Copies of this chain bind each other. A is one copy, B any other.
Amino acid sequence: MSDQLRLGVIGGTGAEGRGLALRFAIAGAAVTLGSREPARAREAAAHLRRQHPQAHIEGASHEDAIAQNDIVILAIPFVHAGPWVEAHGRALAAGALVVDVTVPVVFEGGRPRFVEPAEGSAAEHLRARLPEHVALACAFKTLPARMLQNADVALDCDEFVCGDSPASRQRLAALVERLPGLRPVDAGPLEAARILERMTLLAIMLNKRYKSHDARFRVLGV
């Protein structure tokens, strides 16, 4: 089993993290949900395994999820992501890849608003706080969390990938390709996250306007 893909999912008790953990486990990965409260992570893992008995999902502490995996999906709300990276970044293995799925969108009176980080995007905000020995790339920012969680529904869309190096992007693109129905689209350097994170806001707005939960994107012509 040494070739089995191993993934840590931080924030695996939230909607987006749970959905990604489930989809990757169904695709054959061994997934560790990392939480500040390992008991909650174990509970969430057990819940997902009941839904999909073949899924290889365990719950653990943040520290264990980091120690056991060299690809870590950071699926906690953006406001917690910077502090998480500052607290745990140095514990990540050399060459580890952090996959940032966060978006700096807040809801004020039910209305979503993009709150631009000083660095321009959540991705750049996190890169500025990660140690040099760790790589950062982004995907799954524009994918509806609710849709992710229903593993029977085909995603059937494009997934924009950006990252701090061509190698980071290639590594994440290969990961995206593991999920049926997703095509990775290479959006280039981390700066592209300034656009992609705003597209999440657009998807939220379109969902509201069209009474949908599934607004997502495809790029034609590439």
Which has the most chain B C-beta neighbours within 10 Å: A205, A210, A221?
Answer: A221
Which has the most chain B C-beta neighbours within 10 Å: A209, A217, A219?
Answer: A219
- Chain B nearest CB from A42 CB (Å) reads 33
Pair B216/A220 contact, Cβ less than 8 Å: yes
Which has the most chain B C-beta neighbours within 10 Å: A144, A160, A199?
Answer: A199
- Assuming A198-B194, A199-B195, is B219 touching A215 (CB within 8 A)? yes
- Assuming A195-B198, A201-B195, is B217 touching A217 (CB within 8 A)? yes
Q: Is A54 an interface residue (CB 8 A)?
A: no
A interface residue count range (under 10 / 10 to 19 / 20 to 34 / 35 or more): 35 or more
Pair A209/B195 contact, Cβ less than 8 Å: no
Pair A205/B220 contact, Cβ less than 8 Å: no
Query: How far apart are the CA atoms of A213 and B220 in the complex, in Å?
Result: 11
Q: Is A187 an interface residue (CB 8 A)?
A: yes
Pair A187/B205 contact, Cβ less than 8 Å: yes
- Chain B nearest CB from A200 CB (Å) reads 9
Pair A212/B207 contact, Cβ less than 8 Å: no
Q: Is A206 an interface residue (CB 8 A)?
A: yes
Residue of B nearest to A196 (CB): B202
Residue of B nearest to A198 (CB): B195
Pair B201/A222 contact, Cβ less than 8 Å: no
Docked complex: A164-222 residues within 8 A CB-CB of B: 185-188, 192, 194-196, 198-199, 201-203, 205-207, 209-210, 212-222
Rank and list the top 9 A-B pairs by shortest CB-CB distance, nearest first. A214-B221, A210-B222, A195-B198, A218-B218, A215-B221, A195-B202, A215-B222, A212-B222, A206-B222
